[in-house]
């Protein structure tokens, strides 16, 4: 089969079992190594029965596990990952925390364009440019990304609606979600509470969904309208938000290139407003005249 493993997972229409998700995390966390391991070893690392690997392969449309592994090997050959060299280097820097972190993050950033193409960024940018309102959803560490993209998009003239709520409050703030709106959500390591019903509700009302994620992205059910998924380093390593932050910055710049000067005009209006407020010395403005 010419289908890639990631594509096969994305195309699978039904929910994945817990065993499926464990296996896929192992396979996608380090495809260079996983592509040469047996079904027994992959299952052992995932903590599931060996038969689960065979069932997963057949479930995704492969004749058996060897064919799934061949699809993963083809991905590795195309990607030409230098992950093994990075791991060896980090192994020599065990006492250098800063150096180890910088090396790991630098490699993850260098790998980013292999997982998210400029074409995918442009599709995401067009989705947001055409949005009536942009609802923002994140949990845990992802709230920092919600704050970042909220400020960036708002400064570019977008009507943004952060969703820092759960349960009943989240439901109330989604009551007015319309078909011309877009939900931009973040999911890392595991599916955050509230995301799946949010995706389901958006699909019911006809609103588009854009999810920025890592290895958990292909496992989401239902799948979003667009998925921008890239690893943030090795699954077992300490991971930060450098990769999704870089992705968001690239997305904002792509929007500015495609939106017929809408972003630039909004930034010019903002600069004028900032000047008006900071020049108002009598109303508690910044005495130095600085900008936010």
Mean pLDDT of the chain: 84
pLDDT band per the 50, 70, 90 thresholds, residue 42: very high
Domain spans of the chain, in order of start: 5-79, 115-259, 261-292
In percent, how much of the chain has pLDDT > 70?
84
pLDDT above 60 (res 286): no
Distance CA 76, CA 107 (A): 16
pLDDT above 70 (res 94): no
pTM: predicted TM-score of the whole model, two decimal places: 0.71
Number of residues that this document lists for the chain: 292
Q: Which pLDDT score is estimated for 239?
A: 66
pLDDT above 80 (res 118): yes
pLDDT band per the 50, 70, 90 thresholds, residue 77: low
Domain 5-79 has CATH 1.10.10.10: yes
Q: What is the average per-residue pLDDT within 204-221?
A: 90
Q: What is the average per-residue pLDDT within 245-249?
A: 95
CATH fourth-level superfamily of 115-259: Glucose-6-phosphate isomerase like protein; domain 1 (3.40.50.10490)
Task: Check residues 210 and 106 and name the one with the higher pLDDT.
Answer: 210
Q: What is the average per-residue pLDDT within 37-45?
A: 90
Of 237, 238, 195, nearest to 213 by C-alpha is 195
pLDDT above 80 (res 164): no
């Amino acid at each position: 089969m010419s289908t890639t493993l990631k594509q096969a997972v994305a195309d699978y229409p039904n929910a994945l079992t817990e065993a499926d998700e464990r296996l896929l995390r192992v396979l996608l966390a380090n495809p260079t190594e996983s592509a040469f391991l047996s079904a027994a070893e992959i299952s052992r690392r995932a903590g599931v029965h060996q038969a689960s690997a065979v069932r997963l392969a057949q479930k995704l449309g492969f004749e058996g596990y060897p064919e799934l592994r061949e699809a993963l090997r083809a991905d590795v050959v195309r990607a030409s990952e230098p992950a093994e060299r990075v791991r060896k280097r980090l192994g020599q820097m065990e006492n250098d925390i800063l150096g180890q972190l910088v090396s790991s993050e630098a490699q993850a950033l260098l790998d980013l364009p292999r997982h998210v193409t400029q074409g995918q960024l442009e599709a995401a940018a067009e989705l947001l440019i055409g949005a009536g309102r942009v609802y923002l959803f994140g949990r845990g560490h992802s709230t920092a990304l919600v704050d970042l993209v909220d400020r960036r998009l708002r400064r570019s003239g977008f009507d943004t609606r952060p969703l820092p709520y759960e349960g009943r409050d989240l439901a109330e703030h989604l009551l007015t979600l319309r078909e011309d709106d877009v939900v931009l959500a973040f999911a890392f390591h595991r599916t955050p509470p509230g995301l799946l019903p949010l995706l389901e509700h958006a699909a019911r009302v006809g609103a588009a969904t854009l999810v920025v994620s890592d290895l958990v992205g292909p496992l989401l059910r239902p799948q979003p309208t667009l998925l921008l998924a890239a690893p943030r380093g090795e699954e077992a390593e300490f991971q930060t938000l450098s990769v999704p932050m870089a992705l968001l910055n690239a997305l904002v710049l792509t929007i500015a290139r495609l939106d017929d000067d809408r972003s630039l005009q909004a930034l010019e209006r903002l600069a004028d407003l900032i000047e008006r407020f900071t020049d108002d010395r009598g109303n508690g403005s910044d005495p130095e005249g600085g900008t936010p």
